Structure 1
């Protein structure tokens, strides 16, 4: 499995295992979660994506139970997590309305909860989960800088930010924002043309892609795109999910797809995408059907 440099001291596996559904599994035991992690490690997938809000603020603790049971796993993985969304659930059940909170107080409290829940003394990458229209960039930036300085967080970034949101926060920071995790897939192609991807490429910054299978829609919809994906999958001896992920891997922007499933068999085949070969015309064939018309 290829790796992508995030900072000079930190690299991620090219494919990331997303744990947004880990708390929804029928089996959330430490042993079962450990089996998922081991299945990833066997393929060279070492990077795990979390968020405080996943599973109604339970998913981090599900991972933490596995790390407490087998502490040696912690040094074999890199942990990404996110903060900033407050929803009326779990520890924020008293919230009157879903909202964003990027104050220093909230970020620090979220990090402490994440460290405790995941049974770790450090977060490898902390992301601000959504752009906050009430963000005080000076306060948020200073809070992120202080967390990096403290060693509790090794690096920081954002998720779902537009270029102007990214630039605003970065302008108030000493630390470098190292990535933006955005929606990217054959079902969500706007970032390829709206400037989001170009902005990150201009800065030679790795891009994390959430929902690379379109929330599963790419596996279930019929039509020309599905037919082409099925043809390529048959030609290369993989499933259509591998083709969808390979389409992202083929792009020069150093995209890191974040793939989540609770099925151990599917987890074991995540890396199949890395052996799919797509030439330029095949890439554009998929893109053409994804956008519904030929390029201008």
Structure 2
């Protein structure tokens, strides 16, 4: 599998395994989580996407259980995590309202807790999870720089930031922001035309795409025409509609890295099928037209 180069010394697998539902599985045992990781690794998927808030602040600990039971896996993985959302669940159950916290104190405490929960000594890529309307970019930037300097975090980036949020934070940092993880799919194609993707492409910053299958909504009855087209395009490659939908994102020259999540081992075993698909420019626009419901102007 090709790699997505985020920095001269750092890359992600082109497809990233998303762990946002890891703690929701009926089986969260270390052995079952290890099987998921090994199924990814066997396909060349070496990058794993986490966040402190996933599973009500429990998903990182579920991953940590597997890494403690099978410590040899850690050196084969790039671990991505996020912080900055405070929701009234789990360890933050006492807070009065869901909010964002991008203060240096919160970011540092969150990273320390994530390292403890996952049983690791370094996060490979830390993202600020959401833009914070109260963000003091100087404070936040200094915290991220400090975490990289300390060795607790290897690289930093953001998630769900608009270009102006990105440049504001970057203006106060010495360390480059190496990615922006944004929602992109056939059902959420706005970033292809609203400037979000162009901003990253201009700067050679690799975008990560969350919910690349629309959170499963792609396969709802209302999208049967699109699914039929995806299925037909997948047949020559021996893959299903989901693989073609992921390949549609990967065909873009910005080198998008989709974050794909499922708890089913059989589905995990097919995640790399997207790499088998080659789409022509006409194929790409045929899917885009079907998804948006109108031909391009």
* TM-score, normalisation: structure 1: 0.99
Provide the residue aligned with 1:56 in structure 2: 56
| CA-CA distance at 1:231 after TM superposition | 1.1
Provide the residue aligned with 2:98 in structure 1: 98
| CA-CA distance at 1:112 after TM superposition | 0.2
Dislocated runs of 4+, deviation >4 Å:
none
> Which secondary structure does the structure 1 equivalent of 2:154 belong to?
coil
Distance in 2, matches of 1:269 and 1:230, equals 15
| CA-CA distance at 1:250 after TM superposition | 0.6
Contact 1:219 1:240 in 2 (8 A): no
| CA-CA distance at 1:9 after TM superposition | 1.4
Distance in 2, matches of 1:217 and 1:94, equals 33
Give per-residue Cα distances to partners, 1:202-256, cap 9 Å, x unaligned: 1001000000000011123333212211211223211111010000111101100
Provide the residue aligned with 1:152 in structure 2: 152
Distance in 1, matches of 2:195 and 2:147, equals 30
Give per-residue Cα distances to partners, 1:132-176, cap 9 Å, x unaligned: 000000000000000000010000000000000000000000000
Distance in 1, matches of 2:84 and 2:10, equals 24
Q: Aligned residues, how many?
A: 296
Query: Does 71-80 or 4-13 show the bigger shift?
Result: 4-13
Distance in 2, matches of 1:231 and 1:5, equals 32
Distance in 2, matches of 1:223 and 1:5, equals 35
Instruction: Note the 1:231-270 alignment, pairs <5 A.
Output: 231-270=232-271
Contact 1:6 1:178 in 2 (8 A): yes
Query: Does 215-224 or 131-140 show the bigger shift?
Result: 215-224
> Which secondary structure does the structure 2 equivalent of 1:124 belong to?
strand
Instruction: Note the 1:48-197 alignment, pairs <5 A.
Output: 48-197=48-197
Provide the residue aligned with 1:288 in structure 2: 289
Give per-residue Cα distances to partners, 1:11-68, cap 9 Å, x unaligned: 1100000000000000000000000000000000000000000000000000000000
Query: Does 221-230 or 120-129 show the bigger shift?
Result: 221-230
Query: Does 45-54 or 220-229 show the bigger shift?
Result: 220-229
Distance in 1, matches of 2:126 and 2:147, equals 9
* TM-score, normalisation: structure 2: 0.99
Give per-residue Cα distances to partners, 1:60-98, cap 9 Å, x unaligned: 000000000011110000000000000000110111000
> Which secondary structure does the structure 2 equivalent of 1:132 belong to?
coil
